[in-house]
Amino acid sequence: MNNDITARRLAEDALREADRNKDRFLAMLAHELRNPLGAMLSSIALLNRTEDNEAASRARGVIERQLAHLARLVDDLLDVERLVRGTIELKKTRAELSGPSTRRWKPADR
């Protein structure tokens, strides 16, 4: 019986350590992805100031939208890391779900 309890505790400790490792990995991944995103977004902003043909303009638009989407995903990863560390808290609020959506979706250019 004592061996069963010890084995269970060891297994639980291993799971907790694996969970901490996952959280550290996600935090590191988010930070590593975030750094080049800033440079790319700034470069797109500079490109948008130049005059160019319509195809290049469309391509810049696609890149800009996709980079913004990727930046939001990385920000979400960083928020998860902050939640896990306890540096931010979620607050429950009532949300109205009926009526028109406040978020507008735009299809990607192809």
pLDDT tens, N- to C-terminus, the chain (110 residues): 678 889 899 999 999 998 888 888 887 887 777 777 777 777 777 777 777 777 777 778 888 888 888 888 888 888 887 888 888 888 888 888 876 665 555 555 54
Number of H helices, E strands in the chain: 2, 0
pLDDT of residue 105: 56
Distance CA 86, CA 50 (A): 44
Q: What is the model's pLDDT at position 110?
A: 46
**Dihedral sign (CA 40, 44, 46, 52):** positive
**What is the pLDDT, as a whole number, of residue 34?**
76
Quick check: 26 and 80 in contact, CB under 8 A?
A: yes
What integer pLDDT is reported at residue 65 of this predicted model?
83
Distance, CA of 81 to CA of 101 (rounded, Å): 29
Which residues neighbour 65 within 8 Å (Cβ) at sequence distance 6 or greater?
A: 106, 108
Considering the segment(s) 2-85 as one domain, its CATH architecture is Orthogonal Bundle (1.10)
Q: Cα(81)–Cα(40) distance, rounded to whole angstroms?
A: 23
pLDDT of residue 107: 59
